[in-house]
Amino acid sequence: MNFTGYKRIIFTVSCVFVYAGAVNYGVFDFIPAIPFLIVVLYAACKWGKNYFFSTVALLLLVIPLYLLKKNHGKLFHPKLGAKYTFSIDVCLFSLQIQLKLM
């Protein structure tokens, strides 16, 4: 059986999740993307030169994005350093009762 189509799908989905892990702001940061990174690295080693070059290109894209996110780069935080003052007055509800005595 020829599994070339399945390999491409698995590799593409894994690359998308590795990229998503690099820009993730969740609690676990990059940790959910580690299994997909393992699949991508396995594909780079075992599936041929095309997958290897794609993996190198992916890592060249993902590593700078991850470092920008960790170092609070302007790409992820464009207004970092600007001074803003916020004044918030919150009124949850306003209840006015008027009683008329006869």
Q: What is the per-residue pLDDT across 23-82, written as a single tens digit (0 to 9) for each?
A: 777 778 778 888 888 888 888 888 888 888 888 888 888 888 787 777 776 666 666 555
Strand, helix or coil for residue 83: coil
Task: Give the domain ranges of the chain.
Answer: 1-102
CA gyration radius, the chain: 25
Q: Which residues of 51-77 are buried (b: 16+ CB within 10 A; e: fewer)?
A: beebbeebbeebeeebebbeeeeeeee
Query: Which pTM does this prediction carry?
Result: 0.60
Most confident by average pLDDT, 50-54, 81-85, 96-100: 50-54
